[in-house]
Amino acid sequence: MASRGGPQRPNGASQGKICQFKLVLLGESAVGKSSLVLRFVKGQFHEYQESTIGAAFLTQTVCLDDTTVKFEIWDTAGQERYHSLAPMYYRGAQAAIVVYDITNPDTFGRAKTWVKELQRQASPNIVIALAGNKADLASKRMVEFDEAQAYAEENSLLFMETSAKTAMNVNDIFLAIAKKLPKSETSGTPQPRQGVRLNNEQGGQQSEGGCCK
Amino acid sequence: MAFQNQVLFAKDSVYVHINVQDTKDKDAHIAGRVFLLNKPEGYFIEWKAEDVLNLETTSEEWDVINYKNDREGDSVSMNAKMDARRKYNISFDILDLKSFKRSAPNHGWAYIIFILKDGTTFPALHFHNGGSKALLKELENFIYIRRSPNDPRLFLVKDHDPEQLSQSINELSLFTDSSGAYVQNFVNDSKHGLSKKFIKSPYTTTLGGFSKVTNFLRDVLMTPENSQNLVRPQSEVAELLQDDIPGMEISQLDEPGFEMITKTKLPPRPTVKRGDPLASPQWNSFFDAEGRISKVDELKDIIFRGGVDPALRSEVWKFLLGFYDWDSCSKKRTDQRKRKVDEYFRMKLQWKTISAEQEKRFTLLKERRGLIDKDVMRTDRTHKFFAGDKNPNLQVLYDILMTYCMYNFDLGYVQGMSDILSPILVVMENEVDAFWCFAGAMERVCHNFEMDQNGMKVQLSQIHKLMQIQDPELCAYLEAHDSGNFYFCFRWILIVFKREFHFHEIQRLWEVIWTDRPCSNFHLIISLAILESEKSTLLENKFGFTEILKHINDISLSIPLEETLRKAEGIFLQLRDYKKLPISLKEILGLLPPAHVPASQSMENSMFMGSTSNSSSSLQQEAGVKVDTPTLMAGGAGSGASSVKGVTRSGSGSDLTKGTVGAACSANVARSIGMSARYGGGARQSNGGGAGGNAGATCGMDDVHKVFT
Ligand SMILES: Nc1nc2c(ncn2[C@@H]2O[C@H](COP(=O)(O)OP(=O)(O)OP(=O)(O)O)[C@@H](O)[C@H]2O)c(=O)[nH]1
Ligand SMILES: [Mg+2]
């Protein structure tokens, strides 16, 4: 209970499918991207979470019925100045969480820009979720739930208000994404990189030996 | 099934060393315990701080072990503290373990660094009271571990699907499975005909660069580790490799990872010694009767070699960061400082007097304020100097950053700048001094923050170019794993390793770098040195793009500084002495003869001979910033030449940059000025190779590009 608030790996029983998905977090600086990942992966929250420079990469595994879904999560730096790095990280992503801060309308505007960019530039079937974070700060709310939800519906996005601080809806949003992702035979990630050969071999071993044995 | 979690192994006095709370202290050490647990979901290695464990005694997860609650937490601060401690919890399934690194045998106490398959690298666990071996022994009951043939400190966990490996090995029946990941690599690749491409006479040196490859393979075959199973006479190895490569053309495209066929043979690496920090008596001895530093080069050499005693930092840094001219006398410094104080407050007033109403129509300023607000809240808050909710130093941090916005409005505020300021403010403990020193430090790195990111791109590609010569194997590996753009070093370069080292270490590292020795791009060589240390981990774990980035992120705060500096200097010397070093690399390393970099003429007697010529100077010249005098490192006239007149620039600099006054006073007076004045003043802000005034920040990336590529 104490150390890992996030979803646990499966209980050793032999599982059916194993899927691996690349997920990227986007959104204005300080909306709580790193905090959401930290909550999801380690079950923790840091008031003074450092700003992200460059990008961070984390993994977390969730179980969905008889499928093991492994998220490869890319957490990016939010500031506009680093925008040009983002494509490197959302390229080939099957899912994205676009985050805004419900207490700051500018960040909602920025989120919309991200959604547009993803719709234009990312993989065509990418699953996009919109997260209105810092929902615990209800007294300072500046972006109405309904407004965001309407926008999400128009653009067929998953939508939830979240709080990395209280953990509200954090696991849920990742799970909702996992549900929506297409689960093919073994791995969801057709890694579009060079060196695939090596990676695939490795991945194969990993999933057999590592995850569900 | 009697227990939820069965404890197979437990050991106390296992410490995680965290960032220091005080610059003068040693690292803070968190005491904790390490466990090997049999959980329903698998075998886990876990580490938890004692504090956390004490709190969890009642938790169902820990029903086997019973700890004494030796200390009742005072409830108020307890929660925050616990959260901070929990941050360091370690828990992983041993099936996710990919490798681990042990401390060198002569290291004070043993530590282990665990590395997972996804690239996660945990902080080192220090076994202050022994037990590391016992843990590993226990671990061996569950996983197969072998030592890396290339790095005696690295241990690899063999995957649990041995079939594939042994099968391929059998195919060739040449290697034993103890012969390392490289072999597997070769074996796998051999299916694709690569081994066919290997060389006829691997031991003939005439093959130049090829010998590197064969050495590589030979090492794998011939390491002592393997020798029990596989003692192959050299002749046999040679034969084995004989499968020949008619054209010797190994194409980069066909076989990523094996294009390391570069004709590099660097001279052997000299051993490099580091020295003691510059201390007070020595420092004082450098000042003449007028309070002028007499042998600047010698002084910089000392700082490069050993850094600066923390007690002297606030004073010495003012020279390193251009707050004072190297050749200034005390009188001049007093004058300059006065002007600097005025100048600072004039700029501070500019943003302070903008009303909220006015700001509504001043979006740009409002945006910057917002960014600074966000970052001040989360810059080094675990450091004593910035800790606590109402810490007044946060306001100082904020004011300096806002004022810097006015000082360099074109650049604005970019994330990462607060990281540059924080260690400087901690040293200066004074708003004005910290501001001007920050401005001086920014001068060196402002191109990192430019809008188009070109400054970053240029430097990352310079690392690439250097590595092509310095370590073609690693370079080829990175290229083959989508990391040839070196973006995994982005954070290193952007904020000059600020997040990679403990606070007192970054102060040391920066003062070394600020000497511009052995060249102004030493930070790039430091990157090479760190990567070299991580090489076997990256290669033998066969890390791909994501794992590489993750591993590099995770080794932050566990990079040994002095060792890295020694290594980096060694690499620099190797490159410098390499006869065939391409011109472009010479330029990066500041090794071009004076003809190319006129301003460096006076520098030749420095420790690194000619190396102090500084690419940013050529940048400056090409960029067309007007320079009145040979400005490159005002103090560079160390070889006794008193010719350097103090930097005066007319360029686009403000009049701030002009003042260099000469007068006399003692070192003590100088010090008292440096230390006591509440609002220090009198500095020019341009340091060594930087451009003056606002020009530095605005000399666009195009200019950098021109020179650097
Ligand atoms: N109250 C509250 N604060 C939060 C929440 N999530 C994050 N924060 C705080 O918001 C600040 C920024 O959070 P980060 O997670 O660093 O934001 P980010 O989006 O990763 O920012 P960049 O790395 O700069 O792009 C931190 O001080 C967090 O503690 C939340 O759900 N509620
Ligand atoms: Mg972040």
| C-alpha–C-alpha distance, residues B20 and B276, integer Å | 21
Q: Is the bond preceding B224 in cis, omega lying within 30 degrees of 0?
A: no
Give the pLDDT of residue B521: 97
Beta-bridge mates of residue A128: A96
Query: What average pLDDT does the segment B402-421 reach?
Result: 95
Taking Cα atoms as reference points, which of B437, B424, B418 lies closest to residue B684? B437
Give the pLDDT of residue B177: 35
Taking only residues 97 to 136 of chain A, the set having a beta carbon closer than 8 angstroms to any beta carbon of chain B reads 106
Question: What's chain B's length in residues?
Answer: 709
Q: How far is the CA of B396 from the centre of ligand 1 (A)?
A: 22
Out of A100-109, B74-83, B343-352, which region has the weakest mean confidence (pLDDT)?
Answer: B74-83
CA-based nearest distance A163→chain B, Å: 17
Q: Distance of CA B559 to CAs A6, A58, B73, B113, Å?
A: 30, 21, 33, 12
Higher pLDDT, B634 or A143: A143
Does the C-beta of A67 come closer than 6 Å to ligand 1? no
The residue of chain A nearest to residue B49, with distances taken between CA atoms, is A3
Interface contact flag, A10 B499, Cβ < 8 Å: no
**pLDDT tier for residue B170 given thresholds of 50, 70 and 90:** very low
Give the pLDDT of residue B193: 37
φ and ψ at A176, to 5 degrees?
A: -60, -40
Q: Residues with Cβ within 5 Å of ion ligand 2?
A: A 33-34, 52
Could you please report the per-residue DSSP string of B286-338?
TB-TTS-BS-HHHHHHHHHHH-B-GGGHHHHHHHHTTSS-TT--HHHHHHHHH
> What number of other Cβ atoms are within 10 A of residue A45's Cβ?
19
A14 touches chain B (CB under 8 A): no
Task: State which of B197-206, B362-371, B637-646 shows the largest mean pLDDT.
Answer: B362-371
Could you please report the per-residue DSSP string of B20-47?
-SSTTSPPEEEEEEEEEEEETTEEEEEE
Query: What average pLDDT does the segment B470-476 reach?
Result: 96
| C-alpha–C-alpha distance, residues B269 and B368, integer Å | 47
Query: What average pLDDT does the segment A143-167 reach?
Result: 98
Q: What is the assigned CATH class of domain B6-187?
A: mainly beta
Out of A25, A34, A163, mutate this one to test ligand 1's pocket (max ligand atoms within 8 Å of CB): namely: A34
In B385-502, where does DSSP find H-type helix? 392-407, 417-428, 431-445, 454-470, 472-480, 490-494
Sequence ranges of chain B with CATH classification 1.10.8.270: 309-448+651-708
Interface contact flag, B481 A29, Cβ < 8 Å: no
Size of interface A-B (CB pairs under 8 A): 145
The residue of chain B nearest to residue A106, with distances taken between CA atoms, is B367
Q: What is the pLDDT of residues A72-110, one digit of tens each?
A: 999 999 988 888 889 989 999 999 999 999 999 999 999
Out of A44-58, B295-309, B603-617, which region has the weakest mean confidence (pLDDT)?
Answer: B603-617
Sequence ranges of chain B with CATH classification 2.30.29.230: 6-187
Q: Supply the CATH classification number for the domain B309-448+651-708.
A: 1.10.8.270
CA-based nearest distance B55→chain A, Å: 10
Interface contact flag, A195 B415, Cβ < 8 Å: no
3-state secondary structure of B153: coil
pLDDT tops 50 at residue A43 = yes
pLDDT tops 60 at residue B531 = yes
Give the pLDDT of residue B96: 87
Q: Distance of CA B327 to CAs B294, B314, B332, B599, B619, Å?
A: 8, 18, 10, 17, 24
Interface test with A, best of B157, B158, B371 (most A CBs within 10 A): B371
Give the pLDDT of residue A84: 86
Does the C-beta of A51 come closer than 6 Å to ligand 1? yes
Give the pLDDT of residue B199: 33
Query: What average pLDDT does the segment B30-43 reach?
Result: 87
Task: State which of A186-195, B6-15, B79-88 shows the largest mean pLDDT.
Answer: B6-15
Higher pLDDT, B131 or B372: B372
- Calculate the average pLDDT of chain B: 72
> To which residue do tokens 């400054």 refer?
B455
Q: What is the pLDDT of residues B380-396, one digit of tens each?
A: 999 999 999 889 999 99
Higher pLDDT, B235 or B202: B235
Q: Are A1 and B5 in contact (CB under 8 A)?
A: no
Q: Would the pTM of this model clear 0.80, i.e. be above it?
A: no
pLDDT tops 80 at residue B438 = yes
pLDDT tops 50 at residue A111 = yes
Taking Cα atoms as reference points, which of B559, B562, B561 lies closest to residue B123? B559
Task: State which of A46-55, A136-145, B87-96 shows the largest mean pLDDT.
Answer: A136-145
Q: What sign does the CA torsion over B73, B75, B77, B82 have?
A: positive
Give the pLDDT of residue B52: 80
| Strands lying side by side in the sheet with A158-161 | A55-64, A67-76, A17-26, A95-101, A127-133, A158-161
Out of A53-67, A192-206, B145-159, B373-387, which region has the weakest mean confidence (pLDDT)?
Answer: A192-206
**pLDDT tier for residue B303 given thresholds of 50, 70 and 90:** very high
pLDDT tops 60 at residue B485 = yes
Taking only residues 113 to 132 of chain B, the set having a beta carbon closer than 8 angstroms to any beta carbon of chain A reads 117-120
Give the pLDDT of residue B64: 34
3-state secondary structure of B508: helix
**Amino acid letter, residue B210:** F
Does the C-beta of A32 come closer than 6 Å to ligand 1? yes
The residue of chain A nearest to residue B47, with distances taken between CA atoms, is A3
Interface test with B, best of A198, A207, A208, A213 (most B CBs within 10 A): A198
Q: How far is the CA of B524 from the centre of ligand 1 (A)?
A: 32
| C-alpha–C-alpha distance, residues B680 and B665, integer Å | 17
A78 CA closest ligand 1 atom index: 25
3-state secondary structure of A113: helix
Topology of domain B258-264+452-622 in CATH is Cyclin A; domain 1 (1.10.472)
Burial A107-118 (b: 16+ CB within 10 A, else e): bbebbeebbebb
